[in-house]
Amino acid sequence: MAVTKVTYRSDTAAGDDANIGYTAAEGLILTGQGSTNDITIKRDDDTAVLEVATGQSDIEITGGNIFFGTADKGIYLGVTSATAANLLADYEEGTWTPALSFGGNAVGISYMSALGAYVKIGKMVHCNFYLRTSDNGSSTGACNITGLPFTVSNVSNAAYGSSLVTNYRGNFSADHYPGGYAEKNGTNIVMLNLDPDATATSGLVDSDWTDTSLIYGSITYRSES
């Protein structure tokens, strides 16, 4: 196998097969020229990790993923300088457990199913859930779904800009169509009755949710962090 000699020089040139250079302005310069890639970085078992195709500027990560050695680091998107508003520093997927409360209490409530999943991109959180009760217990008052995985931003439009989408509901009181919004600076969904025939939107209460009510829903909101 022929080996191209790599030499150090003050700078590299466009016609170099492979060279390492340095300038005061650019620092360390690595230049290569191949039929497939101009630059290939491999690990010790000869597996390619990073490649720059011949004549191209894109960097291809071929052997794994990118991660940061410390938390709260990210990538600035769409800008050429470190602009805080363009920093994407968080992506997360996980599960959460939705639960009911009536008047802020949950005495004796039991469930057949209480399942939730979420995706968080930056500060935007999208949650799906399935909630089905087997016993409403003895608490009374306004109905909330509790347990959102991240605290809702303490800004009014973060709460009122969110909306609970009911994909399916069953066994609610007649003419009661559950909706809601994420409560500002909290982890609750405030439940509303979205009956199209009602003269005004009202909150759901314990008597609207029967012992065997069920709901599939989703909600998107802005988190505090």
Q: What is the pLDDT of residues 17-41, one digit of tens each?
A: 888 888 889 998 888 889 999 999 9
Q: 96 and 32 in one domain?
A: no
3-state DSSP assignment of residue 88: strand
* Inside any domain, residue 77: no
- pLDDT of 2: 55
**Total structural domains in the chain?**
2
Q: 119 and 14 in one domain?
A: no
Lowest mean pLDDT among 89-103, 111-125, 200-214: 200-214
- pLDDT of 1: 47
Residue 164 · residue 189 · CB < 8 Å: yes
pTM of the model: 0.85
Q: 96 and 193 in one domain?
A: yes
Q: 104 and 21 in one domain?
A: no
Task: Show Cβ contacts of residue 29 under 8 Å, excluding neighbours closer than 6 positions.
Answer: 11, 12, 20, 21, 22, 23
Whose tokens are 């290939």? That residue is 40
* Inside any domain, residue 149: yes
Q: 192 and 126 in one domain?
A: yes
- pLDDT of 19: 85
3-state DSSP assignment of residue 156: helix
- pLDDT of 3: 56
- pLDDT of 73: 93
Task: Show Cβ contacts of residue 149 under 8 Å, excluding neighbours closer than 6 positions.
Answer: 94, 96, 116, 118, 120, 125, 127, 187
Q: 96 and 61 in one domain?
A: no
| pLDDT of 147 above 90 | yes
Residue range of the domain that includes 49: 7-66
Q: Give me the mean pLDDT over the 94-103 stretch.
A: 97
- pLDDT of 6: 62
More confident residue, 15 or 109: 109
Q: 152 and 216 in one domain?
A: yes
Q: 190 and 117 in one domain?
A: yes
Q: 96 and 143 in one domain?
A: yes
Q: Calculate the alpha carbon distances from 160 to 85, 151, 165, 219 in Å.
A: 22, 14, 14, 12
Q: Give me the mean pLDDT over the 167-186 stretch.
A: 87
| pLDDT of 183 above 50 | yes
Q: 59 and 126 in one domain?
A: no
Nearest to 217 by CA among 184, 180, 186: 180
